[in-house]
């Protein structure tokens, strides 16, 4: 059974050319305390490529010599994905990226009044000129160029439109709305992207959303609704402060809820999540959407009864599709069908009366503070069956 057969009112969007540029290896690594090794970055890049991500932002070459070596190694790995690098709107940064053999760059400069006054100490005209010089220089060297207005959601809309039109005229292939501190709302992101799409002729619009208010994924979707084509993500939503738009949440929301097929190999999503969890040393909450270890676990008797008949009664999609698994957990909320299912796994048949005794004992044991794992369940069953024979 397909999702659209279960939920016939899900909207159909014309987003077939939408794509992801993943920044796990750059913005994800900027999570305080995270530092991937060369082999770890390569493994993540390979797995992102296996997933089918179109563009991978491999790093920030200006950071260090080691970073440049790693970015260059990823660029020469022969992946299907295009490899991008981050650079400030500086010639030296772009030269460092060029020496890494990348396919393109994301060059950025802040545009909000707050950043202009307290960080750059420059006027909007000065930073606009710096940005355009960077775009032009990179294009002259044959790179794919995305121009990113940092802190775009706190920049006056008239400035955003003018600067991004200017970037397009200087050859930018894509322009980014960077919601740098997650201050955008779905409505504001939609508005900015829709206004930009009215004013741009060829350049794609990309959205780069942070999760400070928990809006990163929905803001990214509203960016697409407003006319954006590209979305920035990180695996497990890692990144500075509260992180970035979660790759797995965005992909599955678009696929399941909006019927947008991005032609990705989603079977590797859980494996990719586990890899990044291990390398970043950032534990994924067990209830994290999509990839949490327990998001397809069921205990409540009402739920379990229905899931055993048809999993889609209490699951938005089948966990096997992304490498996840379903578990029936026994506890105080368990009913007969859950216990009966567990008994069948063990190859044990009992009478109806004995089944009720086991269910009662399971509830009592859990309420007594003991977790009902397989070992505990077997102990309960054996004790009751032995007592019944005596």
Contacts of residue 334, defined as CB under 8 A and 6 or more positions apart, other chains included, come to: 299, 300, 301, 304, 359, 362, 363
Mean pLDDT score, 146-157: 98
Q: Are residues 374 and 236 in the same domain?
A: no
Is residue 291 assigned to a domain?
A: no
Q: What is the pLDDT of residues 184-200, one digit of tens each?
A: 999 999 999 999 999 99
Give DSSP secondary structure letters for 266-333: GGGHHHHHHHHHHHHT-PPPTT-TTT-TTTTEE--HHHHHHHHH-GGGT-SS-GGGGT---EEPBSTT
Region of poorest pLDDT, from 104-108, 111-115, 302-306: 302-306
Is residue 3 assigned to a domain?
A: no
Single pTM value for the model: 0.92
Is residue 1 assigned to a domain?
A: no
Is residue 8 assigned to a domain?
A: no
Q: What is the pLDDT of residues 230-268, one digit of tens each?
A: 999 999 999 999 999 999 999 999 999 999 989 999 999
Q: What is the pLDDT of residues 318-357, one digit of tens each?
A: 999 999 999 988 989 988 988 898 898 889 889 898 899 8
Full residue range of the structural domain in which residue 110 is found: 15-280
Contact 199, 167 (CB under 8 A): no
Q: Are residues 198 and 302 in the same domain?
A: no
How many domains does the chain divide into? Answer: 2
pLDDT at residue 2, as a whole number: 53
pLDDT at residue 342, as a whole number: 87
Q: Are residues 206 and 323 in the same domain?
A: no
Q: Are residues 254 and 384 in the same domain?
A: no
Is residue 159 assigned to a domain?
A: yes
Please report the sign of the dihedral spanned by the C-alpha atoms of residue 71, residue 73, residue 76, residue 80.
negative
13 — pLDDT class (breaks 50, 70, 90) = low
Q: What is the pLDDT of residues 131-142, one digit of tens each?
A: 999 999 999 999
Q: What is the pLDDT of residues 289-328, one digit of tens each?
A: 999 999 999 988 889 899 999 999 999 999 999 999 999 8
Q: Are residues 81 and 210 in the same domain?
A: yes
């Amino acid at each position: 059974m397909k999702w659209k057969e279960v939920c016939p009112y899900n909207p159909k969007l014309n987003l077939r050319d939408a794509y992801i540029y993943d920044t796990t290896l750059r913005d994800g690594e900027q999570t305080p305390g995270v530092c991937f090794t060369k082999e770890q970055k390569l493994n993540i890049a390979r797995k992102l490529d296996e997933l089918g991500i179109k563009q991978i932002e491999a790093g920030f070459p200006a950071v260090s010599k080691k970073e440049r070596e790693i970015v260059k190694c990823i660029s020469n790995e022969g992946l299907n994905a295009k490899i991008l690098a981050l650079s400030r709107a500086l010639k030296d940064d772009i030269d460092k990226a060029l020496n890494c053999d990348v396919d393109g760059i994301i060059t950025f400069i802040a545009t909000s009044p707050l950043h202009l006054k307290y960080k750059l100490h420059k006027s909007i005209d000065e930073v606009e000129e710096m940005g355009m010089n960077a775009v032009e220089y990179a294009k002259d060297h044959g790179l794919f160029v995305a121009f990113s207005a940092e802190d775009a959601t706190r920049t006056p809309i008239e400035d955003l439109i003018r600067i991004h039109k200017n970037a397009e005229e200087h050859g930018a292939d894509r322009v980014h709305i960077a919601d740098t501190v997650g201050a955008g709302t779905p409505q504001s992101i939609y508005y900015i992207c829709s206004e930009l799409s009215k004013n741009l002729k060829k350049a794609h619009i990309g959205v780069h959303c942070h999760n400070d208010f928990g809006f990163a994924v929905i803001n990214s979707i509203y960016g697409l609704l407003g006319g954006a084509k590209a979305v920035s993500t990180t695996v497990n939503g890692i990144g500075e402060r509260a992180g970035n738009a979660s790759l797995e949440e965005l992909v599955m929301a678009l696929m399941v809820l909006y019927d947008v097929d991005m032609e990705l190999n989603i079977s590797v999503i859980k494996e990719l999540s586990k890899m990044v969890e291990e390398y970043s040393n950032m534990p994924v909450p067990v209830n994290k959407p999509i990839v949490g270890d327990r998001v397809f676990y069921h205990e409540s008797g009402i739920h379990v009864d229905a899931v055993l008949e048809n999993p889609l009664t209490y699951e938005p999609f089948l966990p096997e599709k992304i490498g996840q698994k379903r578990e029936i957990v026994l506890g105080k909320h368990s009913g007969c069908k859950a216990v009966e299912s567990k008994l069948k796994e063990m190859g044990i048949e009992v009478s109806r009366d004995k089944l009720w005794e086991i269910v009662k004992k399971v509830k009592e044991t859990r309420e007594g503070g003991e977790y009902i794992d397989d070992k505990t369940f077997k102990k309960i069953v054996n004790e009751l069956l032995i007592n019944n024979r005596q």
